[in-house]
A and B are shown apart, each in its own frame.
Chain A
Amino acid sequence: MSIKTVRNLRRLSQIVFFVIFFWLILKTNFDVDFSVANGSDIHLPYPVSLFLQFDPLTALGTLLSSWTVYEGLLWSLVILIPTIFLGRFFCGWICPMGSLNHWISEIRSERITHRGKGKIESNRYKKYQRIKYYIFFFFIGAALMGTLQVGLLDPLPFLARSIGTVVLPTVQSAALGVVGWIKSIGYPPLGNAAQSVYDTISPLVLNYRPVYFHAILTIGLLFVVVLLLNRLFIRFWCRGICPLGAMLGIFSRYAIFGLQKDESKCNQCAMCNLHCQGGDNPDVGHTWHQAECHLCLNCQAACPEDALSFRFFPQHEPSRANPAPTPKVDVTRRKVLLSFLGGVALFPLIRSGDAFGANPNPRLIRPPGSVNESAFLAKCIRCGQCMRVCPNNALHPTFMESGAEGIWTPILIPVIGYCEPTCTLCTQVCPTGAILHLTIKQKVGDKNEPPVRIGTAFFDRGRCLPWAMGKTCIVCEEWCPTSPKSIYLKEETFVDRNGNEMTLKRPYVDPNLCTGCGACEYACPVVDRPAIYITSVGESRSAKNQILLQRSKLRQGSQQS
């Protein structure tokens, strides 16, 4: 097989893995095989978080922060172990974020860094490429202390989150906008044609109804900036920022596969550097950096003199004009230690803020099945899969609701969507066990086992129609999904401004029964700020965040906080 064929295989591999990644995110949706005859639990037909489970950085981060390699994360060894022998093949052949950066970098540009000599110079190894190692060690230090921040910049959760909460919803808004605009022209055949095109295409990629996400500005902005940086510096993310690339670079220290440069054949044409993806100096005359190389094989394929070849146990005869390659990462021990200690120090720094324990946001409602907050922050990689799969659009990335520490972790916002009692989809997709699996039976509870609670409902009597205004309304009670209902009604007398008495039903909450699902808040006709609202108190995952005495006792055995 010629090297050009192998390079084409790499291109194919990039496309295939990108498509798989994208397809799995598309399928993280209410797209289920279900028949009433086969029972009432709804399951996703595909293991939609599988790609994320192949992520070695997620595995290492959660291992250090929680001392568990959760379920499918063991798959990450399938990437990590070959990397130890081969090098960063993942970056060049598999990583969908890497491929995206690759493609965007390769779009023609008149910019100096994208053509001719400027590009050759730009592709040479640069000091900024060390930044990713500092980021990596910083995150490792933080993880070891118990705050998992790798998900902020880990490329797989980064891309999953960006596509799931920003790109796809934006595409849907745009598509609906275009269809609406065509319809508004007022020529029905055209409008119907637009609608039928939408109806045909939308089930493949879009949700049944538009979704809206909290805090997408920060996610979207970062995503756009990362993509645009490729226009300034080729693969800036992969070379300079990506902590997963850094980790794989460190693990390729003892690789037995590498680049062999034949000094005698080289005529210094620099074609290898022109096409280099990693910025690792493949040319004769400079030190080749094993840890930076993505194994894209462009250099070998581009070399007209056959001076370069990737092989097992490459032979190097260093000379003055052709220095030996280095398997080492180009960072000093001191700086590694400093970044690591920085990460270690991050933990007491953020935890001395009030958001975690002293003054947690009462509206921080976590998905059902979530582990207690300290374990949650040690496990959540903010991939956004729970948010994408939630059929009610109830789960959202936080902005500052769980402090800066928990940015983009999931929060349930009942005004937008409530938690359907018989839905367990978010518990099925979490790749790290921040949300543990639930069955409907566990979630709803029965006579012996309490239901899973995510909060408790409270009335704002100053806004409630029957309480404040003498108007009939029972919508919260009507919607309340527990049986018996957690919201009950009592006939009471209302005296209006003229002294006329009238009887009407007023709603009350029974905290013993309320699970905090938020259906009442969602359905309340006082739409702008509902007269009934959920706060996190009473959530099953916490022993401390309780109102009822017996429940604090009950849960203490099973969960610590």
Chain B
Amino acid sequence: MKRREFIKKTCQAAALAAVSGGVGFLFHNRESSAYAKLVQANPAFQVAADSSLPKIVLAQNADHIAALHAALDAVGGIKRFVKPGEKVTIKPNIGWDRTPEQGADTNPVLVGEMVRLCFDAGASEVVISDIPCNYAPRCFLRSGIKEAAEKAGAKVILPRDEDLVTVDLGGKMLTAWPVLKHFIETDRLINMPIVKNHSLSRCTVGMKNLYGILGGSRNQLHQQIDQSIVDLATFFTPTLVVVDATRVMLRGGPTGGSLDDVTIKNTVICATDQVAADARSAEFLDMQPDKIGHIVLAQSSGLGNLDYKAAGYKELS
């Protein structure tokens, strides 16, 4: 063997050995578990309280847009909640593959008008999203919300796995959980629920509507539904709650399906106190708010006042 060949071969072997060993050490990891990276977020969507204004206003009008305007103006008007240049995310209930008449999803007329109002107040961008139970494209289409919101200029975003981020929600029960990022990467959050009965939480209005922000196995949350709702509402306290009580689902909720399940109430509630909003809405279902677990728990956790009249209540009709 020539010297040159000896050196060359030895160097090649040594280089391969170095690379093999280097890769092993570089990627060596003694930790046996790998958790998903947590995103730290602490959203603050609320505006400053104003004691001269009621915290919850109910307006009744067969013209739903007029009802929305009346209720919203009475809690301070859209300009109180949306400042020019802000990004607004609206969370309607788009949970089910139903038509507007069936009253399982938020009234598209109200959603469209809300988008328009936000733009009037100078919002830079209005995003609409939700993680429905049924197939999302069908829900977005058949609820009429996609059409109405897009016509008003909103960005309607279908939920996708890629857009879920795991966030530490810091609740008693809800800790690290996958969350749709559009609800974190925003300046204002407007919750637009519809009023329906529910066999476990008894009613689903505003706070329960926030379930739609969550990905993951949220069907397991029902094992501790009250605490999980309150944890979620604590983390995602919205700027404003706009309750669609134009149609109210009395039975068969949250899916419904028959027009017999729905009654016409032609009512819109605007509130800055989400507990009061849910409490007042429960009365549409002939329920006493102080008998509803998650509303009681929300009050005792300091989220708001279930005695909505004490909170500052105004009724317009």
Q: A478-B255, A525-B219 are in contact. Are A195 and B142 (CB under 8 A)?
A: no
B199 touches A478 (CB 8 A): yes
| B9, chain A: closest CB distance, angstroms | 34
A30 touches B133 (CB 8 A): no
**A477-502 interface (Cβ within 8 A of B):** 477-485, 489
Residues of chain A within 8 A of B141, CB atoms compared: 32, 34, 36, 42
Residues of chain B within 8 A of A35, CB atoms compared: 147
B199 touches A505 (CB 8 A): yes
**Measured CA separation A484–B219 after assembly (Å):** 21
Residues of chain A within 8 A of B220, CB atoms compared: 525
Residues of chain B within 8 A of A524, CB atoms compared: 219
**Measured CA separation A42–B225 after assembly (Å):** 35
Main secondary structure of the interface of A (DSSP, over half): loop
A483 touches B199 (CB 8 A): no
**Measured CA separation A484–B141 after assembly (Å):** 24
> B255's contact among A392, A479, A505, by CB below 8 Å, is which?
A479
Q: Which single residue of chain A is at the shortest CB-CB distance from B217?
A: A525
A30 touches B97 (CB 8 A): no
Residues of chain B within 8 A of A392, CB atoms compared: 135
> B222's contact among A444, A472, A527, by CB below 8 Å, is which?
A472
Question: A367 on the interface (CB 8 Å rule)?
Answer: no
**A28-42 interface (Cβ within 8 A of B):** 30, 32, 34-36, 40, 42
**Measured CA separation A477–B99 after assembly (Å):** 20
Between A and B, 25 residue pairs with Cβ closer than 8 Å are A30-B135, A30-B138, A32-B141, A34-B141, A209-B161, A391-B135, A420-B97, A420-B135, A421-B257, A422-B142, A465-B223, A472-B200, A477-B199, A478-B198, A478-B222, A478-B255, A481-B255, A482-B257, A483-B255, A483-B256, A484-B252, A485-B255, A524-B219, A525-B219, A525-B223
| A340, chain B: closest CB distance, angstroms | 46
Residues of chain A within 8 A of B85, CB atoms compared: none
Question: B137 on the interface (CB 8 Å rule)?
Answer: yes
Q: Closest 10 interchain pairs by CB?
A: A483-B257, A36-B144, A483-B258, A525-B219, A474-B200, A475-B219, A525-B220, A391-B135, A483-B252, A40-B99
Residues of chain A within 8 A of B160, CB atoms compared: 208-209
Question: B158 on the interface (CB 8 Å rule)?
Answer: yes
Residues of chain B within 8 A of A179, CB atoms compared: 162
A420 touches B137 (CB 8 A): no
Question: B76 on the interface (CB 8 Å rule)?
Answer: no
| A452, chain B: closest CB distance, angstroms | 15
**Interface size, B (range):** 35 or more
Question: B136 on the interface (CB 8 Å rule)?
Answer: yes
Question: B260 on the interface (CB 8 Å rule)?
Answer: yes
Residues of chain A within 8 A of B224, CB atoms compared: 472
Q: Which single residue of chain B is at the shortest CB-CB distance from A35?
A: B147
**Measured CA separation A311–B138 after assembly (Å):** 55
Residues of chain A within 8 A of B147, CB atoms compared: 35-36
> B99's contact among A36, A465, A472, by CB below 8 Å, is which?
A36
Residues of chain A within 8 A of B198, CB atoms compared: 478
**Measured CA separation A452–B100 after assembly (Å):** 24
| B187, chain A: closest CB distance, angstroms | 21
**Binary interface profile of A, 505-543, with partner B (CB < 8 Å = 1, else 0)?**
100000000000000000111010000000000000000
**Binary interface profile of B, 44-74, with partner A (CB < 8 Å = 1, else 0)?**
0000000000000000000000000000000
**Measured CA separation A34–B142 after assembly (Å):** 8
Question: B212 on the interface (CB 8 Å rule)?
Answer: no
A473 touches B257 (CB 8 A): no
| A523, chain B: closest CB distance, angstroms | 6
**Measured CA separation A465–B200 after assembly (Å):** 14
Most chain A CB within a 10 A radius of its CB, from B217, B222, B260: B222
B257 touches A481 (CB 8 A): yes
Question: B289 on the interface (CB 8 Å rule)?
Answer: no
Residues of chain A within 8 A of B206, CB atoms compared: none
Chain B positions within 8 Å of A, measured between CB atoms, are 96-100, 108, 133-138, 141-144, 147, 158, 160-162, 198-200, 217, 219-220, 222-225, 251-252, 254-258, 260-261
| A266, chain B: closest CB distance, angstroms | 61
Question: A316 on the interface (CB 8 Å rule)?
Answer: no
Question: A423 on the interface (CB 8 Å rule)?
Answer: yes
**Binary interface profile of A, 358-374, with partner B (CB < 8 Å = 1, else 0)?**
00000000000000000
Q: A478-B255, A481-B257 are in contact. Are A505 and B200 (CB under 8 A)?
A: yes
Most chain A CB within a 10 A radius of its CB, from B136, B225, B252, B257: B257
Most chain A CB within a 10 A radius of its CB, from B143, B251, B252: B252
Question: A117 on the interface (CB 8 Å rule)?
Answer: no
**Measured CA separation A49–B138 after assembly (Å):** 22
A36 touches B100 (CB 8 A): yes
| B94, chain A: closest CB distance, angstroms | 13
| B182, chain A: closest CB distance, angstroms | 14
B261 touches A483 (CB 8 A): yes
A42 touches B138 (CB 8 A): yes
Residues of chain B within 8 A of A195, CB atoms compared: 162
Residues of chain B within 8 A of A472, CB atoms compared: 200, 222-225
**Measured CA separation A399–B133 after assembly (Å):** 29
Question: A471 on the interface (CB 8 Å rule)?
Answer: yes
**A185-238 interface (Cβ within 8 A of B):** 195, 208-209
**Measured CA separation A234–B172 after assembly (Å):** 68
B200 touches A527 (CB 8 A): no
Residues of chain B within 8 A of A482, CB atoms compared: 257
**Measured CA separation A392–B99 after assembly (Å):** 18
**Measured CA separation A133–B294 after assembly (Å):** 71
**Measured CA separation A338–B225 after assembly (Å):** 68
Q: Which single residue of chain A is at the shortest CB-CB distance from B142?
A: A40
Residues of chain A within 8 A of B135, CB atoms compared: 30, 391-392, 420
A527 touches B217 (CB 8 A): yes
Q: Which single residue of chain A is at the shortest CB-CB distance from B136?
A: A208
Q: Which single residue of chain A is at the shortest CB-CB distance from B160?
A: A209
**Measured CA separation A357–B99 after assembly (Å):** 41
11 additional A-B pairs beyond A524-B219, A525-B217, beta carbons within 8 Å, are A208-B136, A423-B97, A471-B223, A473-B223, A474-B199, A474-B200, A475-B219, A478-B200, A478-B222, A481-B257, A485-B255
Q: Which single residue of chain B is at the shortest CB-CB distance from A198?
A: B162
Residues of chain A within 8 A of B144, CB atoms compared: 36
